[in-house]
């Protein structure tokens, strides 16, 4: 069974995206949880961590889509 380069490239982008989402949200939420626990401000920093994590996910998704579009020969701005 032979897999072409395009399929492998798409799988690599999907794996990178999944890892980036998990790491961004996990680190931001974990940091927010620990800050809340340390300062006694229960949901404040956790919610802030979620917002920061989602912002990082958006940036990563945008960056990966631009890179993937360029590798496919598309013109994106």
pLDDT tens readout for residues 12-44: 888 988 999 999 999 999 999 999 999 999 999
Residue 46 lies in a domain: yes
Residue 51 lies in a domain: yes
Residue 49 lies in a domain: yes
pLDDT at 14: 85
**From start to end of 4-45, where are the E strands?**
none
Residue 29 lies in a domain: no
Residue 58 lies in a domain: yes
When the pLDDT of each residue in the chain is averaged and rounded to a whole number, the result is 88
- Domain of residue 55, residue span: 42-67
pTM > 0.85: yes or no: no
Give the separation between CA 76 and CA 68, rounded to whole angstroms.
10
Number of domains composing the chain: 1
What is residue 61's three-state secondary structure?
helix
CA atoms within 13 A on the CB side of 38: 8
* Per-residue pLDDT at 70 exceeds 90: no
């Amino acid at each position: 069974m032979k897999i072409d380069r395009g399929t492998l490239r798409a799988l690599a982008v999907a794996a990178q995206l999944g890892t980036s989402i998990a790491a961004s949200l996990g680190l931001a939420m974990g940091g927010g949880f620990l800050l809340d626990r340390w300062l006694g401000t229960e949901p404040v920093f956790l919610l802030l961590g979620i917002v920061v994590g989602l912002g990082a996910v958006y940036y990563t998704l945008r960056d990966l889509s631009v890179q993937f579009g360029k590798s496919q020969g598309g013109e994106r701005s």
